[in-house]
Structure 1
Amino acid sequence: MIQAWVKNRLGGRAHGWFQPGSRFVLAKIEITRSHRSKGYGTVVLEELRAKARQCGCSELVFQGVRADNSGAIKLYTSFGAKPVPTSGNLCDFVVPLP
């Protein structure tokens, strides 16, 4: 888990797991409502991307994103993520890591 702290208060967190040498799968990212659209999600994802690289992962996967979650999709695509349909209303978004 990665946590984002703002003035000694939890501003957000991300949960996932590493498959060393393969991928980092992000199952959930949560940014408190009052901190959304202020760059905190970007900070959390930058840290996750750096950790994934350190573990030798070749891709970062945002798992199970709802099609109507436009804020998350905008954030993920800003990192170069491409959608991979999974089932029904969900997609995974995959970012290759150089």
Structure 2
Amino acid sequence: MDEEGSKIQANVAGNYLAKYGKLLQEKRCVMVTRFEIGDNLSPYRPTEHPHRLFFNYTTDIKNCDDFGGSIHGFSFTSFDVLCNGAIPLDSLVDINGYVDGCFL
């Protein structure tokens, strides 16, 4: 996610996981440069971005301590919007907390 909140799916192929895996940790902000961009044709799309970021041999990762975006990366919506079916069907939705009931 960038400082404006735009999100893009990223892919680290198995052969690069040993090189980059230890640098990609939860709750850690990093700046990623020298990557490839391709169409996001995956059936699993956690973002609505039409492209996907691919790590390659020259990808560089550096610590970033001055990130100005949301530290959690969540986009919240109200329970009423969810229950009323106002969220597009192709959107990814995580429900955090306890749902007492929802009848569509």
Which structure ranks higher in relative contact order (CA pairs < 8 Å, sequence separation ≥ 6)?
A: 2
Q: Tell which structure's C-alpha radius of gyration is larger.
A: 2
For the criterion TM > 0.5, the same-fold answer is no
Could you tell me the TM-score, scaled by structure 2's length? Answer: 0.27
The structure carrying a bigger helix percent of its residues is 1
